Amino acid sequence: MEKQIDEEALKQKVQKYIVTISCLILIGKFIAYYITQSVGVLTDALESIVNVVAGFISLGSLRWSALPKDEHHPFGHGKIELISASIEGILISIAGAMIIYEGIMRLFSPVEVMHLDIGIYIVAFSGLLNYLMGWYSIRIGKRYNSMALIAGGKHLQSDTYSTIGLVAGLVVLYLTQIVWIDSLLALLFGGLIAGTGISILRKTIANLLDAADEQLLNDLVQTLNEKRPPEWIDIHNTRIIKSGSYLYIDCDLTIPWYYTIEEGHQEAAKLQDLLRDKYANKVQLTIHLDPCNIFDKLKCNTCALQHCKYRREAFTEQETISLTSFTGAGGEV
């Protein structure tokens, strides 16, 4: 429990740093826009507003998701992180649309751009800070399986990538003094920003609908194949729900039919310990035990248990757990 509290406190601490620095970056970018009157710089400033708002939303969601499960929320409060990421995706998409609109308006009503050199320095430095914050947020988010930190970090890094292109365009504008380049930059990076928002939305909606996470399933299948004892004849009918940084797993484990209740419980406990070790004790596992003769067809030829006195067929090769068999019904009709 102490480890869990420490992890949640660390995630909130990271998000507080990000929000604080994002506020400073926001002030710097609007100063740059006031000095330069560049719509290209305005694109960066508008996105920084999204960074700050999304940062506060993520901070609130991390605090909420850290609350323990209760009778009204048996799976905890982790889904709030997905709602937070969805709101962030919506805000990013809106910011992209606003930037595109402003770019189109400036094409028809150009404004003189001034002191671009100062604006370039401020925007470039802000982009570097955003990248470092994004890298750290993603690193901590992956370590503790936090969708809110990962989504926020990817947003910050996408902001950095667009800033690199924006700085390059501002340099060209500074050297050539061609006014329409400023509007072109707004249209280009507004589109990229809107695309980032839509991408985040698609992923979070999939997770809210409990879509299967194939990467997680494949990783779990690989671990089970590597560490599976001979008593685990088959594992199937697996379902996984992600709630924040926690996993709720339901599966069927096939064991020798003659095992006692106590022996079956011991095998289930082994599987539970294996998964808890792999996922830092953030797994709630429900196991249904199946006897190996449940389908009136013994799996003797694929059972690696050497000292089975009820074997009817010679062992040939242990059946590898695949993604299909792992999530399938294991022979049920």
Let me know whether 229 and 168 are in one domain: no
Let me know whether 165 and 287 are in one domain: no
Let me know whether 292 and 204 are in one domain: no
Report the percent of the chain where pLDDT is more than 70: 79
Q: Does residue 14 sit within a domain?
A: yes
Q: Does residue 308 sit within a domain?
A: yes
Let me know whether 38 and 90 are in one domain: yes
- DSSP letters spanning 241-275: EEETTEEEEEEEEEE-TT--HHHHHHHHHHHHHHH
Q: Does residue 155 sit within a domain?
A: yes
Query: Taking residues 82-103, what's their average pLDDT?
Result: 77
Let me know whether 158 and 190 are in one domain: yes
**Whole-number pLDDT of residue 80:** 66
| pLDDT above 60: residue 3 | no
Q: Among 175, 208, 241, identify where a domain stops.
A: 208
Q: Return the minimum-mean-pLDDT range out of 32-41, 76-85, 150-159, 174-183.
A: 76-85
* Better-scored residue on pLDDT, 148 or 4: 148
CATH number at residue 244: 3.30.70.1350
Let me know whether 80 and 161 are in one domain: yes
Of the candidates 92, 76, 295, 102, the residue with the CA atom closest to the CA atom of residue 183: 102
**Whole-number pLDDT of residue 285:** 80
Query: Of the segments 72-76, 138-142, 193-197, which one has the largest average pLDDT value?
Result: 138-142
Let me know whether 278 and 136 are in one domain: no
Alpha-helical runs (H) found in the chain: 2-36, 39-65, 80-108, 116-143, 147-176, 180-208, 214-227, 261-278, 323-327
Query: Taking residues 297-312, what's their average pLDDT?
Result: 77
Q: Does residue 332 sit within a domain?
A: no
| pLDDT above 80: residue 120 | yes
Q: Which domain holds residue 83?
A: 2-208
Let me know whether 204 and 274 are in one domain: no
Q: Does residue 172 sit within a domain?
A: yes
Phi, psi of 66 (to 5 degrees): -75, -10
C-alpha to C-alpha distance for 104 and 110, rounded to whole angstroms:
10
Q: Among 151, 181, 208, identify where a domain stops.
A: 208
* Better-scored residue on pLDDT, 63 or 222: 222
Let me know whether 157 and 260 are in one domain: no
Query: Of the segments 88-102, 119-133, 172-186, which one has the largest average pLDDT value?
Result: 119-133
Query: Taking residues 87-114, what's their average pLDDT?
Result: 76
Let me know whether 189 and 135 are in one domain: yes
The band of 249, judged by pLDDT with boundaries at 50, 70 and 90, is: confident
In the chain, how many domains are there? 2
| pLDDT above 60: residue 332 | no
Q: Among 178, 208, 238, identify where a domain stops.
A: 208
**Whole-number pLDDT of residue 110:** 67
| pLDDT above 50: residue 126 | yes
Q: What is the pTM of this model?
A: 0.52
pLDDT digits (tens, 9 = 90+) for 7-28: 667 777 887 888 888 888 888 8
| pLDDT above 80: residue 228 | yes
Q: Does residue 287 sit within a domain?
A: yes
Let me know whether 59 and 106 are in one domain: yes
**Whole-number pLDDT of residue 17:** 84
| pLDDT above 80: residue 118 | yes
pLDDT digits (tens, 9 = 90+) for 210-220: 555 667 777 88
**Whole-number pLDDT of residue 157:** 79
Let me know whether 189 and 246 are in one domain: no
| pLDDT above 50: residue 2 | no
Q: Does residue 333 sit within a domain?
A: no
